[in-house]
Amino acid sequence: MKSAFFILKQLQKGNQLAFRELYSNFSAQIYQLAFNILREVIYAEEIVQDTFLEVWNGRQNIDCDANIEAYLYVICRNKSFNKLKQIKREQALFAPLQECNNPSSDAEENNRKESELREQLEIIIQKLPDRRQLIFRRSRLEGFSHKEIALDLDISVQTVKNQMATALKFIRDELQKDNKNFTI
Protein backbone atom coordinates (compact mmCIF):
# COMPACT_ATOMS: atom_id res chain seq x y z
CA MET A 1 0.00 0.00 0.00
CA LYS A 2 1.23 3.46 -0.85
CA SER A 3 1.58 5.92 1.98
CA ALA A 4 -1.67 7.32 3.32
CA PHE A 5 -0.37 10.84 2.73
CA PHE A 6 0.26 10.11 -0.97
CA ILE A 7 -3.14 8.45 -1.42
CA LEU A 8 -4.93 11.37 0.25
CA LYS A 9 -3.00 13.93 -1.83
CA GLN A 10 -4.01 12.09 -4.99
CA LEU A 11 -7.58 11.77 -3.74
CA GLN A 12 -7.75 15.54 -3.18
CA LYS A 13 -6.87 15.97 -6.85
CA GLY A 14 -9.77 13.71 -7.85
CA ASN A 15 -7.62 10.70 -8.72
CA GLN A 16 -10.02 7.77 -9.04
CA LEU A 17 -7.25 5.20 -8.75
CA ALA A 18 -6.32 6.62 -5.34
CA PHE A 19 -9.98 6.41 -4.35
CA ARG A 20 -10.16 2.78 -5.50
CA GLU A 21 -7.03 1.97 -3.51
CA LEU A 22 -8.49 3.65 -0.43
CA TYR A 23 -11.72 1.70 -0.93
CA SER A 24 -9.97 -1.64 -1.41
CA ASN A 25 -7.77 -1.06 1.65
CA PHE A 26 -10.55 -0.06 4.05
CA SER A 27 -13.95 -1.19 2.76
CA ALA A 28 -13.84 -4.55 4.57
CA GLN A 29 -13.09 -2.86 7.91
CA ILE A 30 -15.81 -0.26 7.35
CA TYR A 31 -18.28 -2.99 6.41
CA GLN A 32 -17.43 -4.96 9.57
CA LEU A 33 -17.94 -1.92 11.77
CA ALA A 34 -21.29 -1.10 10.14
CA PHE A 35 -22.41 -4.72 10.36
CA ASN A 36 -21.44 -4.92 14.05
CA ILE A 37 -23.68 -1.93 14.75
CA LEU A 38 -26.60 -2.69 12.42
CA ARG A 39 -26.56 -6.51 12.21
CA GLU A 40 -27.99 -6.42 8.67
CA VAL A 41 -25.97 -7.08 5.52
CA ILE A 42 -27.97 -4.73 3.31
CA TYR A 43 -27.70 -1.84 5.78
CA ALA A 44 -23.98 -2.43 6.32
CA GLU A 45 -23.41 -2.38 2.55
CA GLU A 46 -25.39 0.86 2.29
CA ILE A 47 -23.27 2.44 5.04
CA VAL A 48 -20.04 1.43 3.28
CA GLN A 49 -21.27 3.11 0.09
CA ASP A 50 -22.42 6.22 1.97
CA THR A 51 -19.13 6.44 3.89
CA PHE A 52 -16.96 6.34 0.79
CA LEU A 53 -19.37 8.62 -1.09
CA GLU A 54 -18.94 11.20 1.67
CA VAL A 55 -15.14 10.85 1.43
CA TRP A 56 -15.27 11.32 -2.35
CA ASN A 57 -17.62 14.30 -2.15
CA GLY A 58 -15.48 15.97 0.53
CA ARG A 59 -12.11 14.97 -0.91
CA GLN A 60 -10.90 18.57 -1.38
CA ASN A 61 -11.27 19.20 2.36
CA ILE A 62 -9.46 16.09 3.60
CA ASP A 63 -6.46 16.74 5.82
CA CYS A 64 -3.65 14.70 4.28
CA ASP A 65 -1.91 14.43 7.65
CA ALA A 66 -5.01 12.98 9.32
CA ASN A 67 -5.40 9.35 10.30
CA ILE A 68 -7.57 8.17 7.40
CA GLU A 69 -8.60 5.00 9.21
CA ALA A 70 -9.94 7.02 12.15
CA TYR A 71 -11.63 9.45 9.75
CA LEU A 72 -13.42 6.60 7.94
CA TYR A 73 -14.29 4.97 11.26
CA VAL A 74 -15.98 8.14 12.57
CA ILE A 75 -17.98 8.65 9.37
CA CYS A 76 -19.07 5.01 9.35
CA ARG A 77 -19.95 4.98 13.04
CA ASN A 78 -22.03 8.15 12.78
CA LYS A 79 -23.85 6.96 9.67
CA SER A 80 -24.50 3.56 11.27
CA PHE A 81 -26.00 5.07 14.41
CA ASN A 82 -28.11 7.44 12.34
CA LYS A 83 -29.34 4.47 10.30
CA LEU A 84 -30.12 2.58 13.51
CA LYS A 85 -32.22 5.53 14.73
CA GLN A 86 -34.00 5.67 11.38
CA ILE A 87 -34.77 1.93 11.50
CA LYS A 88 -36.17 2.22 15.02
CA ARG A 89 -38.39 5.16 14.00
CA GLU A 90 -39.69 3.22 11.01
CA GLN A 91 -40.31 0.12 13.09
CA ALA A 92 -42.31 2.22 15.53
CA LEU A 93 -44.31 3.67 12.65
CA PHE A 94 -45.31 0.26 11.31
CA ALA A 95 -45.56 -1.57 14.65
CA PRO A 96 -49.37 -1.36 14.69
CA LEU A 97 -49.47 -3.46 11.52
CA GLN A 98 -47.44 -6.13 13.26
CA GLU A 99 -49.70 -5.99 16.31
CA CYS A 100 -52.62 -6.77 14.03
CA ASN A 101 -50.91 -10.06 13.22
CA ASN A 102 -50.70 -11.10 16.88
CA PRO A 103 -51.92 -14.74 16.92
CA SER A 104 -53.26 -14.44 20.48
CA SER A 105 -56.02 -12.08 19.29
CA ASP A 106 -59.18 -12.91 17.40
CA ALA A 107 -58.26 -13.49 13.73
CA GLU A 108 -61.27 -11.65 12.31
CA GLU A 109 -60.66 -8.63 14.51
CA ASN A 110 -56.99 -8.63 13.50
CA ASN A 111 -57.85 -8.77 9.82
CA ARG A 112 -60.35 -5.93 10.20
CA LYS A 113 -57.87 -3.74 12.11
CA GLU A 114 -55.08 -4.48 9.66
CA SER A 115 -57.33 -3.70 6.72
CA GLU A 116 -58.46 -0.42 8.29
CA LEU A 117 -54.90 0.59 9.09
CA ARG A 118 -53.70 -0.25 5.58
CA GLU A 119 -56.54 1.82 4.11
CA GLN A 120 -55.73 4.69 6.44
CA LEU A 121 -52.02 4.49 5.52
CA GLU A 122 -52.87 4.47 1.81
CA ILE A 123 -55.06 7.56 2.20
CA ILE A 124 -52.28 9.34 4.09
CA ILE A 125 -49.63 8.29 1.55
CA GLN A 126 -51.82 9.68 -1.25
CA LYS A 127 -51.75 13.08 0.50
CA LEU A 128 -47.98 13.28 -0.03
CA PRO A 129 -46.72 15.40 -2.94
CA ASP A 130 -46.26 13.28 -6.07
CA ARG A 131 -42.46 13.14 -6.00
CA ARG A 132 -42.32 12.37 -2.25
CA GLN A 133 -45.03 9.75 -2.65
CA LEU A 134 -43.08 8.10 -5.47
CA ILE A 135 -39.89 8.04 -3.38
CA PHE A 136 -41.76 6.66 -0.34
CA ARG A 137 -43.48 3.91 -2.36
CA ARG A 138 -40.26 2.84 -4.05
CA SER A 139 -38.41 2.71 -0.75
CA ARG A 140 -40.98 1.16 1.57
CA LEU A 141 -43.35 -0.73 -0.71
CA GLU A 142 -41.07 -1.80 -3.57
CA GLY A 143 -37.87 -2.26 -1.55
CA PHE A 144 -35.54 -0.04 -3.56
CA SER A 145 -32.46 1.35 -1.80
CA HIS A 146 -31.96 5.08 -1.48
CA LYS A 147 -29.12 4.88 -3.99
CA GLU A 148 -31.27 3.04 -6.54
CA ILE A 149 -34.05 5.60 -6.19
CA ALA A 150 -31.57 8.47 -6.53
CA LEU A 151 -30.08 7.01 -9.70
CA ASP A 152 -33.49 6.27 -11.19
CA LEU A 153 -34.89 9.74 -10.48
CA ASP A 154 -31.61 11.55 -11.20
CA ILE A 155 -31.45 13.14 -7.75
CA SER A 156 -28.94 12.90 -4.92
CA VAL A 157 -29.07 10.17 -2.27
CA GLN A 158 -29.36 12.93 0.33
CA THR A 159 -32.48 14.26 -1.42
CA VAL A 160 -34.01 10.78 -1.22
CA LYS A 161 -33.15 10.59 2.49
CA ASN A 162 -34.62 14.04 3.12
CA GLN A 163 -37.80 13.19 1.23
CA MET A 164 -38.16 9.92 3.16
CA ALA A 165 -37.68 11.66 6.50
CA THR A 166 -40.30 14.26 5.60
CA ALA A 167 -42.72 11.59 4.35
CA LEU A 168 -42.33 9.48 7.48
CA LYS A 169 -42.84 12.48 9.74
CA PHE A 170 -45.97 13.46 7.82
CA ILE A 171 -47.39 9.92 7.99
CA ARG A 172 -46.60 9.65 11.69
CA ASP A 173 -48.23 13.02 12.40
CA GLU A 174 -51.33 12.12 10.38
CA LEU A 175 -51.71 8.78 12.13
CA GLN A 176 -51.39 10.42 15.52
CA LYS A 177 -53.90 13.10 14.54
CA ASP A 178 -56.47 10.54 13.32
CA ASN A 179 -56.00 8.09 16.18
CA LYS A 180 -55.63 9.80 19.52
CA ASN A 181 -54.71 6.48 21.21
CA PHE A 182 -52.31 5.46 18.48
CA THR A 183 -48.74 4.98 19.72
CA ILE A 184 -45.76 5.42 17.44
Segments making up each domain of the chain, as ranges: 4-83, 101-178
The average pLDDT across 137-144 equals 84
Dump pLDDT digits (tens) for 101-114. Answer: 555 556 777 777 77
pLDDT of 1? 56
Distance of CA 34 to the CA centre of its chain: 12
Span 49-101, pLDDT tens digits:
999 999 999 999 998 888 999 999 999 999 999 999 888 888 777 766 655 55
pLDDT of residue 174: 85
Distance CA 84, CA 27 (A): 20
Closest residue by Cα to residue 44 from 53, 55, 33? 33
Q: What is the pLDDT of residues 2-61, one digit of tens each?
A: 788 899 999 999 999 999 999 999 999 999 999 999 999 999 999 999 999 999 999 999
Q: How confident is the model at residue 122 (pLDDT cuts 50, 70, 90)?
A: confident
CA distance 118 to 134: 17
H helices within the chain, ranges in order? 4-12, 16-38, 41-57, 68-100, 107-126, 130-136, 146-153, 157-178
State the Cα–Cα distance between residues 46 and 35, nearest whole angstrom.
Answer: 10
Q: Which residue has the higher pLDDT, 143 or 17?
A: 17
Strands (E), the chain: none
Per-residue b or e along 47-62, where b marks 16 or more CB atoms closer than 10 Å to that residue's CB = bbbbbbebbeeebeee
What are the DSSP calls for 80-98, one per residue? HHHHHHHHHHHHHHHHHHH
Domain 4-83 in CATH 3.40.50.150 = no
183 — alpha (psi -120 to 50), left (phi > 0) or beta? beta
* CATH number among 3.30.365.10, 1.10.10.10, 1.20.1740.10, 1.10.10.60, domain 101-178: 1.10.10.10
